[in-house]
Amino acid sequence: MKKNHNLFIIILAVLGIVGACKSDFLDVKPKGSLSGEVLATEKGINALLVGAYSMLDGVSNSFGWEAASSNWVFGDIRGMVSNKGTDAGDQPDINPIQSFSETSTNSYLNGKWRSVYEAVARCNSIIKVTATALEAGSITQAQADVFLQQARALRGWYHFEAWRMWEKIPYVDENTDATTVKNTDPVVDKILADLTEGTKLPENMGAIGRFNKTVSQVLLAKAMMQMKKDYAGALTILNTAKNGKKPNGDAIGLSAKYGDIFDIANRNGIEAVYTVQYSVNDGSGGNNAGSGEVLNFPYKSGGSPGGCCGFFSPTQEFVNSFRTSGGLPLLDGTYNTSPVVNDYGLTPAQPFTEDAGPLDPRLDWSVGRRGIPYWDWGIHTGSDWIRDQTYAGPYSPKKQVYKKSQEGQYTDVTSWTSGYTANGYRMIRYADVLLLIAECEIEAGSLANARTLVNQIRARAANPAGFVKEADGTTNAANYVINQYPATGAPFDTKENARIALRMERKLELGQEGHRWFDLNRWGVTVAELTKVLNYEKTTQWGKGTIYKDAALGPEDVTFPVPQRQIDLSNGNIVQNR
């Protein structure tokens, strides 16, 4: 339902309807006025809601790749499951983000800030117009409640997005004076209160793209875990949510095969508790498609998919993490002593033999690597799919990429690249919900319960029908060996061991989906963990050069600096967080 009224919303934003404020730190520049009464109807408020939901993709015609809600830059490049990729000169503002040397003038930070506060402004407009409509009698109290619950849940999520980035943020509601608001006041309880309002929504919202009770419960629990470490409260909420529904009333659960989750045809499949909706070939020129992820395809040469651009190349350390022993991950970190073989420095014409060691089968649904079938595009042929191996490394992204057989149907044919796709971002996956519950169970000391949940996900990954296959459709593409954790002994014998296993499982299951840096921050291990990854990546042929040569991180790197542009515009009310 995402952008049927997109043009209408853009017009409203230009006229100053969507967020009336004097400071452009909210990226709102009023040009005129249009009475709120004009919109104060059920139809008008629904149109405004479309505009607020449209910001879930982060881009929404007005913002760049830095604002993508998939957080591929801030979650996964910063979290070191991916390199920037491409070459050193393309989108250079990502370079310092991946090397932990960004400053407050970095344009990617300002773009993300502007995007989330534009979204907040749209939510506040809905709240104001809903009050007008209710007073005028053009909507009922029941209708107003559902509108307000959606607007507040969205507002809570957008503020939480900002909090995860900066922590020291302004909270902006419908009564805030944007010229005086500060980022030094407490905001956590206000964000949680907004998200709580969403849990009052019905399960069936009649549309796949709206928040419902289940979606709001998961988002609230995530925020409780991240901001307050309230694992007990989150556990109660998540145990209800796991038995919930999609916003259109359909059931949720684990997909039978891991790879099926990422097929565009299954973008709203059983695993997708909430998918940010994208559409193609709708007259928007690709603006309603996956604009935020359009760069994240193999470089266009040889037989590769997409028309651009070679970004988002998985790190070697991430690839190595899929090494198994006895079907289990190497939780002691020794996977880096037996790195997965790659084709660095080889041309496609030169012979190459893939790694023969045991691997978790999820690797080849997460990463494109030479010699392994890549969807229905044939064998990944190596360096001709990489823009610059000496900078990006030897791997390609895969989860967001479309099948060759889907070109034209799920890809936009009117824009400069077929990388504009309908493959919506899976903002909440059912496996994510189960792993969040397992995390809470570990903190509660219920290690057996946590093991059962983690093993459900590993059992799905072990389904041989879901392994990447060779062209014959039956032969496994690599030596896939994966098992469940044993009922006794390590790692679910102590809380600390169980934490290590859970954290690795999130890396393997959700890698390249925008979660990693935020996860590390929640666990309080960002500096220690990423220092280890960084030290390893510096040993790779590409990492020892431009990418990570002088990189280092410290305690300040668990947040990003507040954009200097926003400090300058705030007349001293917004201050730096470092």
Q: Do 28 and 173 fall into the same domain?
A: yes
Q: What are the residues whose beta carbons fall under 8 Å from the beta carbon of 32, sequence distance 6 or more? A: 15, 16
| Domain contains 321 | yes
Q: Let me know whether 30 and 179 are in one domain.
A: yes
Omega prior to 491 cis, within 30 of 0 = yes
Q: How many domains does the chain have?
A: 2
Distance CA 290, CA 516 (A): 21
Query: Looking at the predicted structure, is the pLDDT value of residue 17 above 90?
Result: no
Same domain membership, residue 140 and residue 43: yes
pLDDT for residue 33 is more than 90: no
Tokens of 463: 């389904």
In this prediction, what percent of the chain has a pLDDT beyond 70?
93
pLDDT category of residue 35 using cuts at 50, 70 and 90: low
CA distances (Å), 9 to each of 32, 56, 294, 321, 426, in order?
15, 14, 23, 44, 24
226 in a structural domain: no
* Spatial contact of 337 and 372, defined as CB atoms under 8 Å apart: no
Report the candidate in 179, 186, 193, 47 with the shortest Cα–Cα distance to residue 122: 47
**Same structural domain for residues 462 and 317?**
yes
In this predicted structure, the answer to whether residue 542 has a pLDDT above a threshold of 80 is yes
Over residues 183-213, the pLDDT tens digits come to 999 999 999 999 999 999 999 999 999 999 9
Based on the domain organization, do 54 and 193 belong to the same domain? yes
Q: Give the up-direction half-sphere exposure of residue 328: CA atoms within 13 A in the CB hemisphere.
A: 16
Please check whether residue 1 lies inside any domain of the structure: no
486 close to 451: Cβ distance less than 8 angstroms: no
Question: What pLDDT digit, counting tens, does each position of 147-178 carry?
Answer: 999 999 999 999 999 999 999 999 999 999 98
Residue 353's CB is within 10 A of a number of other CB atoms, namely 9
pLDDT over threshold 60, residue 15? no
Q: Which two tokens stand for residue 392?
A: 């990006």
CATH number at residue 358: 1.25.40.390
* pLDDT 10s digits, 65-74: 889 989 999 9
3-state SS of 399-435 is: CCCCCHHHCCCCECCCCCCCCCECCCEEEEEHHHHHH
Backbone angles phi, psi at 304, to 5 degrees: -80, 160
Q: pLDDT by residue (tens digit) across 93-128?
A: 999 999 999 999 999 999 999 999 999 999 999 999
469 three-state secondary structure: strand
31 and 154 belong to one structural domain: yes
Residue 16: per-residue pLDDT: 36
What does the pLDDT average to over 213-235?
98
Q: Is residue 243 part of a domain?
A: no
Predicted local confidence at residue 300, as pLDDT: 74
For the segment 207-235, the average pLDDT, to the nearest whole number, is 98
Q: What is the pLDDT of residues 323-359, one digit of tens each?
A: 999 999 999 999 999 999 999 999 999 999 999 999 9
CB 202 within 8 A of CB 213: yes
- Asked if the structure places residue 267 within a domain, the reply is no
Task: Give the separation between CA 420 and CA 277, rounded to whole angstroms.
Answer: 13
Residues 185 and 321 reside in one and the same domain: no
Rounded CA separation 289/373 (Å): 26
- Residue 98: give its domain's CATH number: 1.25.40.890
**Same-domain pairing of 199 and 296:** no
User: What per-residue confidence (pLDDT) applies to 3?
Assistant: 42
The answer to whether residues 452 and 306 belong to one domain is yes
Split at pLDDT 50, 70, 90, the class of 31 is very low
d(C-alpha 130, C-alpha 149), whole Å: 11
Instruction: Extract the tokens encoding 518.
Output: 């935020």
On whether residue 10 sits in a domain, the answer given is: yes
Domain assignment of residue 281, yes or no: no
CA-CA-CA-CA torsion for 517, 521, 522, 524, nearest 10 degrees? 140
Distance CA(175)–CA(131), nearest Å, equals: 13
Q: Has residue 198 been placed in a domain?
A: yes
pLDDT tens-digit readout, 245-264: 999 999 999 999 999 999 99
Residues 185 and 322 grouped into a single domain = no
| pLDDT over 90 at 392, yes or no | yes
Q: Both 162 and 27 in a single domain?
A: yes
Range of the domain at 189: 6-70+92-203+562-569
**pLDDT tens-place string over residues 407-430:** 999 999 988 888 999 999 999 999
The DSSP code sequence of 315-369 is PHHHHHTTBEETTEE-TTTGGGGSPPP--TT--TTS------S-B-TTHHHHEE-
